[in-house]
């Protein structure tokens, strides 16, 4: 039976959610990253309306993406939106954007070389999908998945966004708090860290623990030193809801847990705003933020809404399209009252998303297909990812499946960069539903660029004659060449590093404490200001052309972020063009080494968007 969502009711729920998002984000932003128990009672002094916040910024970009690409929007289009409009360097954002700029696609772009996949960057972006798929949590969770794999593939950030999107979408048809949390949990794996943290929190609440005691238990059993880690912060969001007596009390309890405070307060503010509507939010909290939408300067190049009314109306406009495109049997009506006649789809239906590989990309052919394609191609890069070193071989796994209703005949081949070698063309005959699996070993020449373009070529034949040709372009990035040595001395072992994490364990073994060494060359194509980072979980030094530029004798919190690596583990200088010698020494003391070496821009750039990754810097150049 058809369900009806009254358009005025739709408006008030969406407007209330966006207003609550602004309230919570403005409350929490000034204390983001503080890990102690806080004592906030109200906003900080506000200059003029709400504070800018990535929690809302990125959803404005996603609204533009929905308007641009329509209901068929996938992670690939969202990735393109990142490259065009998002210039943030923060944690997972910075790593994913580096990958996207080099031509990698989600989910590989969100997983490869990314140490922040378990963090909060995607759970904070859930509302747009819930509001654009009202009363259809299975649809909202699928969009949330497509979003999250852009920068969190393979991590808890994916599950956090799916949980929130499903919960918030269900608000349109369900108002009971406990039931809403239960619905959200249906859309994530029962054994993921996020689900386990939430289940424990719910149990502690039922057992009568106070909110500060519950906070300590969350940190004890599910905590992480990185203040942006998702499971602990999602639990703090729900803690405010479980223990709060009203809107104010709830968002204050959530934010006063500390850690990723803008995220926890903003998401809870959105949830409560959707439940209460704008008329149910206290004027005390509404008046200082008003109706304005403020956008951070590094988010640019698209028509951002000027106020919450415009944001709400544009959200509803795309929502109507999505409800129709997904055949939800939900109709938005300007006169009829809201009437729900649909149940909640079992989240188990999304198991295919939970189990999909972050190491592979999927393509539908012909290019541009949305559904019912003629063929499907999956390229799996394996655990080392889409990287290859000079003169190095790599195995790529292709699975080419006939999705049409007739037999397909033809051949498949790889087109490689000049001087590279690989397997020859293979003849293929596939019945409907049949797949051709191909492990293709390729060998790179000594001319491996920062970004290397390859193509998978499908040539279809008909009546033994050439008929049509389709090409799928993909990218391999240059692996870094390092000489790695353990504490036993010696000249070391040459090894290729797929990303920026130095991996002594694979090269020389890393089972004993001591000093581990790494040497490489850095090719810088132009003279520039640069930030060199040697982020480590123990003492670390870096020498550049024989001179010590980083000397950190302390064991600091491991933080391989472009914009917030420890000051003692970075150096900023003017680096001349050409090849430079780099030496790293890292001390292992009781736990496995974690060391990332990163070439990053400085803060002051000519256009908003500081601390981005220099993709043209090459490691191991001769």
Q: Would you kindly state where each structural domain of the chain is located, as residue ranges?
A: 3-351, 359-476, 480-619
**In percent, how much of the chain has pLDDT > 70?**
100
3-state DSSP of 134-188:
CCCHHHHHHHHHHHHHHHHCCCHHHHHHHHHHHHHHHCCCCCCHHHHHHHHHCCC
* Contact predicate 555/537, CB 8 Å: yes
User: Any known ligand binding at 545?
Assistant: no
pLDDT of 515 higher than 90? yes
Averaged pLDDT score across all residues of the chain? 96
pTM of the entire structure? 0.97
Which two three-digit tokens encode residue 595? 């060391």
In whole angstroms, what is the distance from residue 167 CA to residue 186 CA? 9
pLDDT for residue 531: 98
Angle formed by the axes of helices 261-276 and 230-243, to 10°?
40
Residues 591, 544 contacting (CB under 8 angstroms): no
Rounded CA-CA distance 578/81 in Å is: 33
Compute φ and ψ for 541, nearest 5 degrees. Answer: -130, 150
Crossing angle of helices 230-243 and 211-222, in 10° steps, is 160
Give me the pLDDT at residue 229, please. Answer: 98
Tally Cβ neighbours within 10 Å of residue 500: 20
Read off the pLDDT of each residue in 249-267 and give the average, rounded to a whole number.
98
Nearest to 620 by CA among 499, 521, 472: 521
> pLDDT band for position 359 (50/70/90)?
very high
Candidates 240, 316, 243, 198; CA nearest to 23 is: 240
User: What was the pLDDT predicted at 607?
Assistant: 86
Q: How many CB atoms lie within 10 A of CB 328?
A: 18
Distance CA 375, CA 456 (A): 13
pLDDT surpasses 90 at 45: no
Residue 349 has a pLDDT of: 79
Report percent pLDDT > 90 for the chain: 92
pLDDT, tens only, 54-89: 899 999 999 999 999 999 999 999 999 999 999 999
At residue 376, φ and ψ (nearest 5 deg) are -130, 135
Hey, which CATH number is domain 480-619, 1.10.3720.10, 3.90.600.10, 2.60.120.380, 2.30.30.100?
2.60.120.380
49 pLDDT band (50/70/90 cuts)? confident
The arithmetic mean of pLDDT across residues 305-317, rounded, is 98
- For residue 109, the model assigns a pLDDT of 98
- 622, pLDDT greater than 90: no
Of residues 348 and 394, which shows the higher confidence score?
394
Residue 489, pLDDT > 90, answer: no
Pairing of β 595-600 and β 493-497: unpaired
To the nearest 5 percent, what fractions of the chain are helix, strand and coil?
A: 35, 25, 40
- Quick one: pLDDT at residue 47? 79
What's the pLDDT score for residue 608?
84
Is residue 161 within 8 A of residue 148, CB to CB? The reply is yes
Nearest to 18 by CA among 174, 136, 177, 127: 127
DSSP letters for 445-480: -S---SEEEEEEEEEEEETTEEEEEEEEEEEEEEPE
pLDDT at 338 over 80: yes
**18-30 tens-digit pLDDT:** 999 999 999 999 9
pLDDT in tens, 180-233: 999 999 999 999 999 999 999 999 999 999 999 999 999 999 999 999 999 999
Q: How far apart are CA 134 and CA 128, in angstroms?
A: 10
Give the integer Cα–Cα distance in Å for 154 and 489: 37
Work out the pLDDT band at 294, boundaries 50, 70, 90: very high
CATH number of 359-476: 2.60.40.10
Cα distance between residue 374 and residue 378, in whole Å: 14
CA angle at 220 for the pair 217 and 223, rounded to the nearest 5°: 110
Report the candidate in 513, 510, 512, 476 with the shortest Cα–Cα distance to residue 493.
Answer: 510
Comparing CA positions, the residue from 484, 500, 504 lying closest to residue 596 is 500
User: How confident is the model over 529-558, as a mean pLDDT?
Assistant: 97
Lookup result for tokens 């420890």:
566
pLDDT of residue 491: 86
Band of residue 144 on the pLDDT scale cut at 50, 70, 90: very high
Closest to 183 in 3D by CA, of 205, 161, 160, 163: 163
Return the closest-CA partner of residue 79 out of 152, 154, 1, 136: 152
DSSP 525: S
Tokens of 578: 């050409």
Which among 238, 242, 269 is positioned nearest to 17, based on CA atoms?
A: 269
If you ran DSSP here, which 8-state letter would residue 382 be given? Answer: -
Find the length of the chain. 622
Would you say 48 is a known binding-site residue? no
CA-nearest of 63, 140, 78 to 109 is 78
**The dihedral sign for the CA sequence 106, 108, 112, 114:** positive
CA 296, 63, 289, 264 dihedral sign is negative
CB 491 within 8 A of CB 482: no
The verdict on whether omega for the bond into residue 525 sits within 30 degrees of 0, i.e. cis, is no
Residues 12/125/603/555 CA torsion (nearest 10 deg): 130
Quick one: average pLDDT of 554-581? 97
pLDDT digits (tens, 9 = 90+) for 404-424: 999 999 999 999 999 999 999
pLDDT of residue 581: 98
CATH number at 3-351: 1.10.4080.10
Reply yes or no: is the peptide bond before residue 319 cis, omega within 30 of 0. Answer: no
Q: At 343, is the pLDDT very low, low, confident or very high (cuts 50, 70, 90)?
A: confident
Residue 345, pLDDT > 80, answer no
End-to-end CA distance of the chain: 68
Give the pLDDT of residue 488: 87
For tokens 């739709």, name the residue: 10
3-351 and 480-619, same CATH topology? no
The mean pLDDT of 310-319, rounded to a whole number, is 98
Least confident stretch, 95-99, 341-345, 432-436, 604-608: 341-345
* Diameter over CA atoms, the chain: 80
pLDDT at position 48? 81
Find tokens 């019912």 and name the residue. 372
pLDDT at res. 322: 98
483 forms beta bridges with 494, 519
pLDDT band at 621 (very low <50, low <70, confident <90, very high): confident
Contact (Cβ atoms closer than 8 angstroms) between residue 189 and residue 347: no
């Amino acid at each position: 039976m058809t369900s009806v969502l009254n358009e005025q009711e739709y408006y008030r729920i969406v407007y209330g959610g966006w207003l609550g998002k602004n309230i919570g984000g403005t409350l929490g932003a000034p204390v983001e990253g503080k890990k102690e128990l806080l004592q906030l009672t109200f906003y900080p002094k506000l200059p003029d309306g709400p504070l800018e916040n990535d929690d809302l910024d990125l959803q404005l970009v996603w609204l533009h993406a929905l308007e641009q690409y329509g209901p068929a929007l996938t992670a690939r289009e969202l990735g393109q939106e990142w490259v065009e409009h998002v210039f943030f360097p923060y944690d997972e954002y910075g790593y994913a954007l580096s990958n996207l700029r080099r031509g990698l696609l989600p989910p590989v772009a969100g997983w490869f070389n990314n140490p922040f996949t378990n963090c909060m960057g995607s759970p904070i972006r859930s509302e747009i999908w819930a509001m654009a798929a009202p009363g259809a949590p299975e649809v909202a969770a699928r969009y949330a998945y497509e979003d999250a794999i852009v920068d969190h593939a393979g991590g808890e950030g994916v599950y956090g966004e799916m949980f929130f999107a499903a919960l918030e979408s269900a608000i349109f048809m369900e108002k009971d708090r406990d039931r809403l949390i239960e619905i959200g949990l249906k859309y994530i794996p029962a054994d993921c860290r996020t689900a386990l943290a939430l289940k424990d929190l719910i149990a502690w609440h039922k057992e009568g623990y106070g909110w500060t005691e519950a906070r300590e238990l969350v940190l004890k059993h599910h905590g992480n030193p990185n203040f942006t880690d998702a499971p602990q912060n999602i639990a703090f969001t729900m803690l405010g809801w479980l223990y709060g007596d009203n809107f104010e009390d709830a968002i204050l309890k959530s934010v006063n847990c500390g850690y990723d405070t803008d995220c926890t307060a903003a998401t809870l503010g959105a949830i409560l705003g959707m439940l209460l509507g704008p008329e149910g939010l206290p004027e005390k909290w509404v008046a200082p933020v008003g109706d304005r939408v403020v956008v951070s300067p590094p988010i640019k190049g698209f028509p951002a809404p000027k106020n919450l009314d415009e944001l709400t109306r544009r959200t509803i406009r795309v929502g109507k399209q999505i409800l129709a495109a997904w055949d939800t049997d939900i109709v938005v009506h300007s006169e009829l009252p809201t009437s729900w006649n649909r149940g909640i789809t079992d989240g188990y239906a999304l198991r295919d998303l939970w189990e999909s590989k972050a190491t592979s990309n999927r393509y539908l052919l012909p290019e541009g297909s949305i559904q019912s394609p003629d063929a499907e191609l999956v390229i799996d890069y394996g655990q080392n990812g889409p990287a290859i070193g000079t003169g190095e071989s790599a195995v790529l796994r292709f699975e080419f499946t006939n999705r049409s209703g007739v037999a397909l005949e033809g051949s498949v081949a790889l087109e490689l960069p000049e001087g590279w070698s690989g397997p020859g063309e293979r003849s293929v005959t596939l019945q409907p539903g049949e797949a051709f699996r191909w492990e293709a070993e390729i060998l790179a020449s000594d001319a491996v660029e920062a970004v290397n373009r390859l193509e998978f070529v499908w040539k279809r034949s008909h009546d033994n004659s050439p008929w049509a040709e389709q090409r799928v372009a993909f990218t391999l990035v240059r692996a870094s060449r390092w000489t790695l040595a353990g504490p036993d001395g010696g000249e070391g072992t040459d090894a290729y590093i797929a990303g920026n994490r130095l991996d002594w364990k694979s090269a020389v073994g890393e089972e004993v404490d001591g000093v581990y060494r790494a040497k490489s060359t850095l090719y810088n194509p132009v003279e520039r200001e640069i930030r060199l980072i040697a982020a480590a979980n123990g003492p670390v030094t870096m020498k550049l052309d024989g001179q010590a530029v980083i000397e950190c004798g302390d064991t600091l919190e491991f933080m391989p972020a472009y914009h917030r690596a420890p000051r003692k583990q970075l150096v900023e200088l003017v680096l001349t063009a050409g090849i430079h010698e780099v030496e790293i020494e890292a001390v292992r003391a009781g736990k496995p080494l974690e060391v990332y070496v990163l070439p990053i821009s400085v803060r002051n750039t000519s256009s908003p968007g500081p601390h981005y990754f220099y993709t043209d810097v090459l490691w191991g150049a001769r």
